[in-house]
Chains A and B, each alone.
Chain A
């Protein structure tokens, strides 16, 4: 797949230093604001953006993203609107769809993941993160991704052992989403000890490692990248800004501005963490 444009774009995002990968639920709190928010993240230095397609039963999400999903669904977000959004959003970074398997499975006229993946390729998405699809069930989606040149990004948990890791890497491409701690998504004030252990276990895996779950500040981003992460994934801390703006009735522009500022902080943190690593002859960690 490396000769494919979508695949190359993701590889490029991780090529020059640490990647900042923000997440927002698409359509939260409404379609138009969401466009502005995603564009603000790109302005703030995003290297890849994970776009959440809201599912009614988000079992891997904590309260922050659950609430965002409810807001987006109530405002009318659907898979079809999601694809329109991807076509319309004005950003120049690779976009990855994060959603649950039932939405992928149901889309289109035939059951199975192929129609969804075909549409995703058509609108220019680069890949998928599917939290409820372990390697055991990933075969059909992996095959469709191969057919259309898209990535399937797997989540590696602190509980993933060597045997599972091998299975998981076998179906993965793009990057690995390294879950920093057990539990569900949600911003946290400290960096879990599990992060360093997880990164050490993954040192032999060729795919870039992006760490997510619980990152909310530039300093945390720096710590994680210093520990060896190739990228950081931040969702709840950004969704919190959207939620706060929504509750206060703030203007779309002011929320977008806050998101851009937060994005800059997180991106800068990642860059700082990279600079703090013990230098190697080439100046990279590999």
Chain B
């Protein structure tokens, strides 16, 4: 494979940047069926040429489109009331204001554009909460590519607004009924489609997971978040933050928020995982009532990469849980796993209750209805703000319109001190 080589640029005499070997410490790699390996090599080559070396002006076009179509740069907003409440400067990186309502468009647009440069004819994707599927459907419509999105049956029921958005943008949405019908099964099913149609199809993986070069390439598309945030916080606060906080499921929002801060050793990087209802794993039942693979998982191989996983002692992948379907995944990106091992990223978590409280707090105090994924970061801020230093940047990874049904339902299930009276919704929204 491509490994650590450097080669001469045939056009300008510049050094080509290599994609490397896809290993992050002990994690990463390419654990996929042989049928996919030629496509993965082709993708690695395209990633080197177009993304890393800007061949044919690919990155210029990406940056133009993510600006004009996507609405970048997104603002870095000072959260006045939260700053006052916690007696610390809280800045919000507003990825919820990106077109489509979540950071997912950065990656989806990048990959669909790359597929077009590669001459692929069809786009497939998997989605959990539907944000990645929606972003991919939008990018595919924008660039004129047919698109099919696999989504667990259970998630289809949890995330109907996004299912409609995908279909309205012209994508097919294919329900996945195997297993528990969530993201893990959707990824497996999309890999099966890819293995069948690999010659003309590109699989837009939705996070920094999967075989090399996906973890690195998705990170590069998402790194625009921290590139902007680092510049903006220096302009606005006049200094680097003491901490950057981002919720972590697969890890694309996290890696995107952290990437340009990794070398700033004074900045604490906190990955907030879904603690669900408990951090325990019930091996007999094959269930983890959380999605905290960085905090509680162990090393293994899933969906193309070696990384930290929720698994039983035999290596069977257990079912994860989160009130947020976007975080409900048993694995995490290999680079994030490695940064945790190096003590550069601190994995933390909050439970479903704290996430619901965070959802209501941000909505009421800042007028921003966050995605339930994002709400975990605000749950953490509430519980641990004393340890975050004087300046904190929190990535608002997405907006919460898609989660209103779930938020109402989950609020009704528990005693949430800061929730409004929701009794008028007793019959549900529909």
A residues adjacent to B (C-beta < 8 A): 55-63, 66, 70, 73, 78-80, 100-103, 105-107, 111, 131-137, 154-161, 164, 168, 179, 182-184
Tell me which residues across on chain A come within 8 A of B31, comparing CB atoms: 101, 132-134, 137
Contact between chains at B35 and A57 (CB < 8 Å): no
> Which of A59, A154, A157 is B303 in contact with, Cβ under 8 Å?
A59
Question: Of B1, B35, B195, B196, which is in contact with the most chain A CB atoms at under 10 Å from its CB?
Answer: B35
Q: How far is the CA of A59 from the CA of B193 in the complex (A)?
A: 10
Residues of chain B within 8 A of A107, CB atoms compared:
314-315
Stretch of B59-67, B94-102, B246-254, B294-302 on the interface side? B294-302
Chain A residue contacts of B39, Cβ below 8 A? 159
Interface string of B374-406 (1 = CB under 8 A from A): 000000000000000000000000000000000
CB distance from A183 to the nearest CB of B (A): 4
Find out whether the CB atom of A57 lies under 8 angstroms from the CB atom of B302: yes
Which of B38, B199, B299, B316 is the one whose CB lies under 8 Å from A56? B316
By a CB distance below 8 angstroms, the chain B residues around A154 are: 34
Alpha-carbon separation in the docked complex, A154 to B34 (Å): 9
B38: nearest chain-A partner, CB-CB: A159
In the bound complex, how far is the Cα of B36 from the Cα of A133, in angstroms? 11
Q: Across the interface, which residues of A come within 8 angstroms of B198, CB to CB?
A: 159, 182
- Shortest distance in angstroms between B303's beta carbon and chain A's nearest beta carbon? 7
Question: Are B314 and A78 neighbours in the complex by a CB distance under 8 Å?
Answer: yes
Tell me if B178 is interfacial: C-beta within 8 Å of chain A.
yes
Question: Residues of A contacting B225 with CB < 8 Å?
Answer: none
Bound complex: CA A66 to CA B191 (Å): 14
| Bound CA–CA A101/B311 (angstroms) | 13
Q: How close is B156's CB to chain A, nearest CB, in angstroms?
A: 19
What is the CA–CA distance of A142 and B60 in the complex, to the nearest angstrom?
A: 44
Interface centre among B30, B34, B37, B286 (most CB of A within 10 A): B34
**A66 and B189 alpha carbons, distance in the complex (Å):** 11
User: Which chain B residues in 302-322 approach chain A with CB under 8 Å?
Assistant: 302-304, 309, 311, 313-317
Q: Mark B41-71, 1 if CB is under 8 A from A, else 0.
A: 0000000000000000000000000000000
Instruction: Take A56-B316, A59-B303, A78-B314 as given contacts and tell me if A132 and B32 are in contact as well, using a CB distance cutoff of 8 Å.
Output: yes
* Residue contact A183 to B30, C-beta cutoff 8 Å: no
Which applies to chain A's interface (DSSP): helix, strand, loop or mixed? loop
A160-B38 contact in complex given A56-B316, A59-B303, C-beta closer than 8 Å? yes
B30 near A136: Cβ-Cβ < 8 Å? yes
Give bound CA distance, A212 to B123, whole Å: 28
Residues of B whose CB lies within 8 Å of any CB of A are 1, 29-39, 178-179, 184, 188, 191-192, 195-199, 286, 299-304, 309, 311, 313-317
Kindly list chain B residues whose C-beta atoms are within 8 Å of the C-beta of A78: 314
**Which residue of the partner chain, among A105, A133, A136, A184, contacts B192 with CB atoms under 8 Å?**
A184
Give the contacting residue for B33; candidates A66, A102, A136, A155; CB below 8 A.
A155
The residue from B36, B184, B315 contacting A105, defined by CB atoms under 8 A apart: B315
Residue contact B299 to A136, C-beta cutoff 8 Å: no
A-B contact count (CB 8 A): 121
A103 touches B314 (CB 8 A): yes
B25 to chain A, nearest CB (A): 14
**Chain B proximity of A195: nearest CB distance (Å):** 14
Contact between chains at B311 and A159 (CB < 8 Å): no
Contact yes or no, A132 B301, CB < 8 A? yes
Question: Do B35 and A182 touch (CB < 8 A)?
Answer: yes
Also in contact, A182 and B196, with CB within 8 A (given A102-B311, A157-B35): yes
Q: Would you call A182 and B197 a contact (CB within 8 A)?
A: yes
- Complex Cα spacing A135 to B1, Å: 10
Known A57-B184, A102-B300, A157-B33: A182·B314 in contact at CB below 8 Å: no
A84 to B40, CA, bound (A): 38
Cβ contact within 8 Å between B34 and A155: yes
22 contacts between A and B (CB under 8 A): A57-B184, A59-B33, A59-B192, A70-B178, A102-B317, A106-B300, A106-B315, A107-B314, A132-B32, A132-B33, A134-B33, A136-B30, A137-B30, A137-B31, A154-B34, A157-B35, A159-B36, A160-B34, A179-B35, A182-B35, A182-B197, A184-B192
Which residue on B lies nearest to A156, using beta carbons? B34
CA separation between A60 and B196, bound complex, in Å?
10
A66–B179 CA distance with the chains assembled, in angstroms = 10
- Closest Cβ–Cβ distance, residue B22 to chain A (whole Å): 9
CA distance A13 to B412 in the complex (A): 64
In whole Å, how far is B309's beta carbon from the nearest beta carbon of chain A? 8
User: For residue A157, which residues in chain B have a CB less than 8 angstroms away from its CB?
Assistant: 33-35, 37-38
Question: What are the 8 tightest A-B residue pairs by CB atom distance, in nearest-first order?
Answer: A106-B315, A157-B35, A183-B196, A102-B315, A102-B301, A56-B316, A159-B38, A103-B315
Asked if A184 contacts B196 (CB within 8 A), the reply is: yes
CB pair A111–B33 under 8 Å, yes or no, is: no
Measured CB to CB, the nearest residue on chain B to A73 is B316
B301 touching A105 by the CB < 8 A rule?
A: yes
- Known A-B contacts A102-B302, A184-B196; the reply to A134 vs B32 at CB < 8 A is yes
- Cβ-defined contact, B34 with A179, below 8 A: yes
Taking CB atoms, residues of chain B closer than 8 Å to A70 are 178-179
Determine the distance from Cα of A104 to Cα of B316 in the docked complex, in whole angstroms: 11
B413 CB to nearest A CB, Å:
29
Cα A161 to Cα B196 in complex, Å, equals: 17
Whole-angstrom distance between the alpha carbons of A66 and B178 in the complex?
8
User: Which of B33, B303, B313 is most buried by chain A, counting CB atoms within 10 A of its CB?
Assistant: B33
Across the interface, which residues of B come within 8 angstroms of A137, CB to CB? 29-31
Contact A134 B34 (CB under 8 A): yes
A1 to B38 alpha-carbon distance, docked (Å): 30
Known pairs A100-B301, A132-B31, A136-B37. 12 more at Cβ < 8 A?
A: A59-B191, A73-B316, A106-B300, A111-B299, A131-B33, A134-B32, A137-B31, A157-B34, A159-B39, A168-B34, A182-B35, A184-B196
CB neighbours of A179 from chain B (8 A): 34-35
Bound CA span A101–B34, Å? 13
CA distance A98 to B309 in the complex (A): 22
Q: Which of A61, A133, A134, A156 has the most chain B CB atoms inside 10 A of its CB?
A: A134
Whether B199 contacts A159 by the Cβ 8 Å rule is: yes
Q: Cβ of A80: which chain B residues have Cβ within 8 Å of it? A: 314
Contacts of B286 in A (CB 8 A): 56
How distant is the Cα of A78 from the Cα of B179 in the complex, in angstroms?
18
Determine how close the nearest CB of chain A comes to the CB of B125; give it in whole angstroms: 16
